[in-house]
Amino acid sequence: MDNRTIVLTGVTSGFGRESVELLIRERPQDHYVVLTRRGGERLAAELAEATGASGITDVDCDLASLAATRRAVKEILRGLDSGHLPPLGGYLGNAGLTVTTTQQRTTDGYEMTFGVNVLSHYLLVRELLPRFTGPGWIVLTSSDCHFGQFRYTLGATPAPRWETPERLAAPRSGGAREAGRAYATSKLGVIYLTHALARRLPESVGVYSYNPALVAGTDFFRHVPGPVRGVLNGFFRLQRFLGRGMTPGQAGARLTETILTGLTTRTGSYLDRGRNVPSSPESYDEAREEELWREAARLVDADRQAGRADILTE
């Protein structure tokens, strides 16, 4: 089955945008569904103009709203059911954010970082999960800050602190440092989701967490105040100068290469810029993984569809 539907988040700008352009050029026969909070029609038109491909569809999706995320899923499912979209074969969960306070809330009242970086991707993948057909792939963007070690973050991000999903989803008092810890913790949660998914997908569909490392020159910090954003972007540029970072173009090319040729390792693996390496020792915890899967279902109310199969077979 050669032409597939590929669902994409986090490709509006930065290395995600660079990656999707390259991906479309390499596989123009696929149909790409780009989920964006705003400007999706313009993005789809720009991608079509840049690549010459016609199979690009934009779907409105605010990942900070579970209702909006569900509407996006329903639109994708209608396209698959009607035959407008070819069978689902790929999902890139690249969207993510960092904020400056753990008091900021999603539309549903959850702590913003955990709500967007973990719960939204859980809901999207969980609702699309029965439609994946092999050979297929799911890539969820994580970060090496989940190690919580100075050699990965140079002290810029506090180490993650895992708690129950209910507590992690709860807004709480805390400034920039605690918001940074929430970001690192959310990226640990992405790896837990990856491992939980690996136990639920058929062998013909692989799932991977992907670490792009430090990427300078992106708008990743668009949600933080201007002065703080300047300092953070300066830090990223310094890391690139020191040989620890990449430009968006370099990072996008590495991600595309990984999707096209590097998803041959064992499902559930952690890919550091395409290399299969161990994630942190803390990230291998089946009890936490299953608790997150179970509690995420409760938090997003996805378990109301109890009749849907939880484990797929060939």
**Tokens standing for 149?**
């070690």
Residue 83 CA to residue 77 CA, distance in Å, equals 10
> According to the model, what pLDDT value does residue 214 have?
79
Q: State the burial class of residue 166 (Cβ atoms within 10 Å of its Cβ: 0-12, 13-18, 19+).
A: exposed
What pLDDT score does 314 carry? 37
pLDDT of 223: 47
For residue 3, the model assigns a pLDDT of 93
Query: Which H helix or E strand runs over 65?
Result: none
| Mean pLDDT of successive 10-residue stretches along the chain, which has 314 residues | 90 93 96 92 94 95 96 97 97 94 95 97 96 95 92 82 97 94 97 97 96 69 53 61 75 95 94 95 98 96 47 41
**pLDDT value of position 152:** 78
pLDDT at residue 213 in the model: 84
Residue 311's pLDDT is 44
pLDDT at position 195: 98
What six digits make up the tokens of 142?
A: 């994580």
